[in-house]
Amino acid sequence: MNKTAVITGASRGIGRAAAYKFACAGYNVVLNSKNGKDNLDSAYDLCRSVSREGAGIISIPGDISDPGFAKMLIDKAADTFGSVDILVNNAGISFVGLIQDTTDDIWQNVINTNLSSVHYCTRAVIPHMLKNTCGHIINISSVWGNVGASCEAAYSASKGGVNAYTKACAKELAPSGISVNAIACGFVDTDMNSHLTEEERLSVIEQIPASRAASPEEIAKIIYHISQMPVYLTGQIITADGGWI
């Protein structure tokens, strides 16, 4: 039976690349995104184009910062394919601005999307993984969750929370054969960084020893390889930043 991967924030960037990677590897893939139906449809079509015989691809649009929807997403994936073997908590948003300009609504939106959704999806997937006494949960974090970033207090706080949540979950779930790891990404060439001017982009790249941004496909490869590792690898915040931080 094909294994199943659920990927949130799958309409573009890292999530889209990860969905494509798992589809190429013969997994059942469940794609989720809150916004960008056209992008989600495009990602679905891309995964279908490389899907192997016997593997299924479905897309389920919706807001995983809603705990009810998050549970429905995971349960539907399990009901459709019989199990959820890999959960990639990738959905995320950013806000660049001064602390005093971070309104209550902005703060709650960032925390709910980047951190609360990780909890809701993880909580929902645990019963399904417990049935098989195995599973991999991979959370997409950021270097700013490690060290914090000026003018990105809400984003940094949410990713710092993801890191701590990853370590706590790993300790709790290790006896059940479920691994939980996070990838602290550096500067990745995605739409999240599209607000930067070319001058600002080059200024960041000058600080990176690798002398470039990461591609979403590179992060997707890391996600996939973690999912293939023994579950003894757990509780790790794996930094992928080209030597930046």
Q: Which of 20, 44, 120, 155 is catalytic?
A: 155
Q: Is 20 a catalytic residue?
A: no
Calpha distance 89→64 (Å, rounded): 10
Q: Which two tokens stand for residue 29?
A: 């893939």
Q: Which two tokens stand for residue 208?
A: 């990176």
Strand partners, 89: 139
The secondary structure of the chain in percent helix, strand, coil, rounded to multiples of 5, reads 50, 15, 35
* Nearest alpha-carbon partner for 93 in 201, 31, 12, 169: 12
Which backbone phi and psi does 83 adopt, to 5 degrees? Answer: -165, 165
Calpha distance 178→43 (Å, rounded): 28
Q: Give catalytic residue positions.
A: 155
